[in-house]
Chains A and B, each alone.
Chain A
Amino acid sequence: MAGPMEGVRVVEIGDLGELAGKLLADAGADVIRVEPPRGARSRHTGPFVADRPDVDGSLHYMALNTNKRGVTIDLATPAGVAAWRTLAASADIVIDAAGPDVLDGFGAGYASFADEPRLIWCAITPFGLTGPLRDLPANDLVSMALGGIVMMCGYDDHELPPVRPDGEHSLNIAGEYAVAGMLAALLMRSRTGSGQLLDVSIHEAVAGTTEGAFMNWEYLGRNPERKTGRHAGTVEGWQFQCADGKWAVIFGGGVPRDQKQMDALLTWMDEYDAVGDLREPQYQEVMYLRPQEGGDIRHHFVVTVQAFMKTRPLEEVYRRGQACGLPGAPVNQPEDVLSDPHWEDRGFWATVEIPGASAPARLPRAGYRFTKTPVEFRRRAPLLGEHNAEVLA
C-alpha cells in the first residue's frame, strides 16, 4: 500500500522548504529536490556522520530529505534553466523556497510558467512576497525573535535572555502551513482545473503560533511574561527535578481534577508518609478551583505534592502519576524516546539507511497513522545528484 499522496509530483528548490517537501514525500508524493551543483545548504550544515563534513554525510540533510529524489541543476547556465523548466512543468506543485526574486533572476520563476495554468507554485519566504520587509534577510533566530516565540520562552529570572527553542521551528511552522495550503490548492484544482501561486510568509506563520499571547494583548491589554518551564504568566511551577536528577513536568502543578485522582494521589503519598496536612478539608477543595484560583491553598497543595515527587525517581513520578490521572511527563532528551516501547507498539519509527554509518538508524515519522494509506519509507535522502540521470534524462 502507498501513502495518500502517491501520484502527485512535487519539485522543491531552495533551502526553506525542506520539511514541507519531506511531509509530502513521506506521504507518498514523488518529490524531486533540486540543488545547485555544490549541494543544498543543509548538506554543508551538519551534524555529520563521524563529524566528517561531506555533502553526502549531513545528518540534517538525511533527516529532512527522506523519500525525495535529488538532482543538481546549475541555473546559471542556459541548459540548466531549460532542465529546470522541463522538470518544474512536469510537476503538480513547485515548492519555491529559494527566496524572493531568486528564480526570477534566472528567468525561472513563477512568472515564466504562465503557460502552465495547472501548476501550483508555493513560495516560502521569510516575510512573504509583498510588504516593506520582503527583502530583509532572516535566519531562524531572527524569524523566531520577530515572530514573537522568543519572548514567550525563557526563565522567571529576566536577567537571563529569552530563549530561542532549538530546531528551526520557524521553518517547521511555515512548512506545515505551506503543506496545508498546497493540499487545499490541489483539492481546489480538482474542482476548477486551475493552479495558483501560494505566498507563504515565515514571519506570519511564527507570529500566529503563540497561543495565548494574542488573547492577552487583544483582550486584556497585557504582554505575557515568560516563565521557567510553564506558560508565560502562570504562577505555580510545573517543572521540577526528581530524586535521580531528571526533570519532570506536571501540567497544572499536580492538582487533581476529581475525587478519584485525589484519592489515588494521596494514597501514593501515604505509601511514603508524605501526605502531610493535605487531607484537611480546605486542601480537598483545590480540585474544584480554576487554575488561577486558590491562592495560598493551591500554592500549599502544589508545593507539598512536588516536594514529595522530588523524592521519587522520574520513572515513578511519570508512571505512577499517570496512573493517578495526573497529566505529567518526563522532560526527555530527544534521544530518550528512542527506547520507549510505546512508540514501537505504534510502528512509529522508520528505519533508514545512513550512508557512511555502520548501521541504519531510527527516524521519527509524522504524527499521523493512516489506516488505508500507510506512510511507508521508500528511500533514504538522496546523495548529491543521485537521480540526475533518471530524472533529467
Chain B
Amino acid sequence: MPGAELPLPLEGVRVTDFTWIIAGPQATRILGDMGADVIKVENESYLDAVRGADGLHNNFHRNKRSMTANLHHPQGREAVERLIAKSDVVIENFSSGAFARMGFPYERLAELKPDIIYVSLSGYGQLGRDSDYGTWGPTAQGASGLTAMSRLPGQPPAGWGYSYLDHTAGFYGAIAALMALWHRDRTGEGQHVDMSQVETGMMLAGVPMLDFQVNGRPYEAIGNHAVHPAVAPHSIYRAGGDDRWIAIAAEDDVQWRALCDALGAPALAADARFATNAARVAAQDALDAEIEQRTREEEPFALAERLQARGVLAGVCQTIEDRMERDPQLAARGFYRSAPHPAFGEHRFEGLPITFSGARWRIDRGAPLVGEHTRDVLRDVLGYADAEIDAMQAEAAV
C-alpha cells in the first residue's frame, strides 16, 4: 500500500477504552485510526449494546483491541488497574457517575497513573443539577436545539435521522483527549475532562442564541432556504426517479442566468418576478415551484453535472449507495478502505477525512471479538506470565 511506511501520528499513545454504543467509540475510533493503541475493556455479562449490530460495531471499533475483565474479581480488577497505569488516556461514556461507582473516580485513576488523562462523556455532564438525566443521540439533539433547527417551515421538527450528536460528542471527546495530551507533554500534568453531549450540540447553535439575545428574535425554521445571507434559489428539488432530489443554489445573478440556461428555461430568466436576488427571495415559493417543474423529470446526476458545468452550485442528495458505489471523488481519494474481521470477513470501512503528507491513518483490521486480545494485552502490555493468565481465566477473572 502506498504510504504504508509513513508513521502514525499517535504512535505510542495508549488508551484504555471503557466506551460503548456510539459516542465514546467515535472518540476512540479517531484516536485508533491515527495510531493510538486503543484497548477496549469488556465484560461478557454486560456487553456493548451495539454488539449485534455487526456492521455498526465493526465500523466504530476498527483497529481497537479487546480485553475482557471481571471487575468483581480482585485479579480482574487488578489487571484493569495495571492497564490504566500503562495508559495515557482513559475514556468512558457511561451514565454520569457510573464509572466512579465502579471504583474508578478520577482520584483513583490518578493514584494508578499520576498524569492520567480521564475523559468522561455523558449526556448532561458530571456536574450540575440534572447530571443524572439519561440521553441518547436523538434526545441530546432535542435538548440542544439542533432538532428544532432541522425543520421545514409549517411542518413539525424533522430532526436528524440518526444520532448526529453521538458523532459530535465523539469528535469533541477525541479533541479533548488530544488537547489534554498536549498539555501533559509540556507540563507533566494530567487531568479530568468532564464532557457533556448536550453541550457539544448547544455549542453549534451559538449564532441563533446571539440573535435571540441581541435582537430578541426567536429561532425560525428556514428549511432548505438561505437567510443569512438571503439568496434564492437555494433549496432541494425533486428530480426524476424514485425519491431522488437535487440541491441547487444560485448565489448571484450570473449563477441565476446560468441556471435558467442549463434548465432550458429562457422564460424564467426573463421573468420580472425573478429579475434580482431580492425579488427571487421575496417570491421564493413561486420560484421553487417553477424550478421544480423543470427538475422533476431530470435524471439527477446528469442534471447536477450540467448545472455544475455552468458554475451553478448543485449536488445530488446522495444516498449511502450513491456515496459508496458511484461517487467519483470518494473513490479517487480512497475514502472507503477494506479490512478483515474474523467473523464478518472482508468489509469496507469509512475512512478518516484527513490526508497527511508525513503520516498515515490506518484501518488495519475490523473490530475485535470479545476478549480477542485479552492474552496479548495481559502478557505483552502488562507483563503477566502465560501460567498466570491461564489461572486468571480459569477463575473467570479475565
Contact = CB atoms under 8 A, between A and B. Distances in A.
Contact of A215 (B53, B183, B210): B53
Contacts of A127: 329
A142 B316 CA distance: 8
Contacts of B330: 203-204, 207
A16 interface: no
Given A142-B249, A333-B145, A214 B174 contact: no
B295 to A, nearest CB: 11
A88 B135 CA distance: 43
Contacts of A357: 214
A181 B182 contact: no
Interface in B204-233: 204-215, 217-219, 221-224, 226, 228-229
B262 interface: no
Chain B interface size, as a band, is 35 or more
Interface in B111-164: 119, 123-125, 127-131, 133-152, 155-164
Contacts of A191: 11-12
B178 A363 contact: no
Main secondary structure on A side of the interface with B = mixed
Interface string A339-363: 0011101101000001001010111
A127 B201 CA distance: 25
Interface in A171-185: 172-174, 176-181, 183-185
Contact of A334 (B130, B185, B212, B321): B212
Contacts, number: 518
B161 A161 contact: no
Contacts of B161: 152-154, 224, 226-227, 230-232
Contacts of B72: none
A180 B196 contact: no
Given A47-B228, A334-B212, A343 B158 contact: no
A248 B171 CA distance: 26
Nearest to B195: A368
Given A174-B353, A232-B161, A333-B145, A346 B9 contact: no
Contacts of A341: 129
Interface stretch (A98-106, A194-202, A276-284): A194-202
Among A3, A148, A214, A334, max chain B CB count under 10 A is at A334
B146 A167 contact: yes
Interface in A183-221: 183-188, 190-192, 194-205, 207-220
Given A231-B163, A337-B202, A177 B320 contact: no
Interface string A120-146: 000000011111111011110111111
Contact of B353 (A130, A177, A328): A177
Contacts of A251: 135-136, 138-139
A216 B321 CA distance: 9
A229 B178 contact: no
A151 B319 contact: yes
Nearest to A150: B317
Given A153-B159, A183-B178, A173 B146 contact: no
Interface stretch (B78-86, B343-351, B368-376, B384-392): B343-351
Given A369-B195, A373-B191, A332 B329 contact: no
Given A151-B318, A185-B356, A331 B55 contact: no
B203 A366 contact: yes
Given A209-B167, A331-B142, A338-B213, A45 B357 contact: no
Contacts of A165: 146, 149-150, 160, 164
